[in-house]
Amino acid sequence: MLKAQVHPHFLFNTLNNIYSFAMSAPPFAARLVDNLSGTMHYMTAECEAPAVPLDKELRLIRDYIELEKVRYGDRLHTDIMVDGNSGGKLIDPLLMIPLVENCFKHGASLLLEGSWIKLHIFIESAVLKVEVRNNKPLHTPYTNRQGIGLNNVRKRLRLLHPENHSLEIHSAPEEFTVFLQVPLKQQH
């Protein structure tokens, strides 16, 4: 149940973007529909397994970011770096998406311009390390209260990897950073 949480605003915003591009740029709208369809199929059908190919999870993250970037245009800069070989590795499904989703929800959506998101993924033989950073408005007070997404990630990590994970969350005045480390399984 914890992995079933998908932010509904993402779906509604993406559908709204597709609708507007359907009128002005049908080929681009068709590409957005294809991305959204693949994302929704992956989330609803392929993520039923206890572990999924890391390649597919990374594709989900890239597609999600591309769909979100349509909303922000030139006022958002993204930096995505994947270091290491993802082939033949398995990960718990939908574990990283709440971290990326939060970058948009608590960063880019609150900034009128100059928003950025940096996602650095380091793949080692049996470990995945993720660093997600985003800028945020200076005048947004940070509380220790964490939302549903991060709480779900924490709960899932405690259930799936009680002794073998790391999740660190840091908030600075202008930046929010999350570090995640989880074990990877080998695909047979």
> 102-136, pLDDT tens digit by residue?
777 755 555 556 688 899 999 998 999 999 998 87
Q: Which residues pair with 119 in a beta bridge?
A: 80, 132
Residue 94 is classified by DSSP as T
Please determine, for residue 144, whether its predicted confidence score (pLDDT) is greater than 90: no
**What does the CA dihedral 139, 140, 144, 145 come to, rounded to 10 degrees?**
160
Q: Summarize pLDDT for 12-65 with one digit per residue, the tens.
A: 667 777 777 788 878 878 888 888 888 787 787 788 888 999 999 999 899 888
Q: Where are the domains of the chain?
A: 2-186
Integer CA distances (angstroms), 150 to 2, 22, 41, 71, in order: 11, 34, 23, 23
Q: How many Cα atoms within 13 Å fall on the side-chain side of residue 52?
A: 20
**Cβ–Cβ contacts within 10 Å for residue 38, how many?**
14
- What mean pLDDT is predicted for residues 170-176? 84
Helix (H, G, I), strand (E, B) or coil at 117: strand
> Given this model, what pLDDT does residue 112 score?
58
Position 3 confidence tier, pLDDT thresholds 50, 70, 90 = very low
Angstrom distance (rounded) from CA 141 to CA 47: 35
- CATH homologous superfamily of 2-186 equals Histidine kinase-like ATPase, C-terminal domain (3.30.565.10)
Closest to 129 in 3D by CA, of 174, 99, 105, 101: 99
Amino acid at 10: F
pLDDT at residue 145 greater than cutoff 80: no
pLDDT score of 109: 55
Separation of alpha carbons 18 and 39, rounded Å: 14
Predicted TM-score (pTM) above 0.75: yes
The pLDDT of residue 2 is above 50: no
pLDDT at position 167: 93
pLDDT digits (tens, 9 = 90+) for 60-111: 899 888 887 877 778 888 899 999 999 999 999 988 888 888 777 755 555 5
CB-side neighbour CA atoms (13 Å) of 75:
11
Residue 75 has a pLDDT of 83
Q: Which residue has the higher pLDDT, 103 or 141?
A: 103
H/E/C letters for each residue in 50-89? CCEEHHHHHHHHHHHHHHHHHHHHHHEEEEEEEECCCCCE
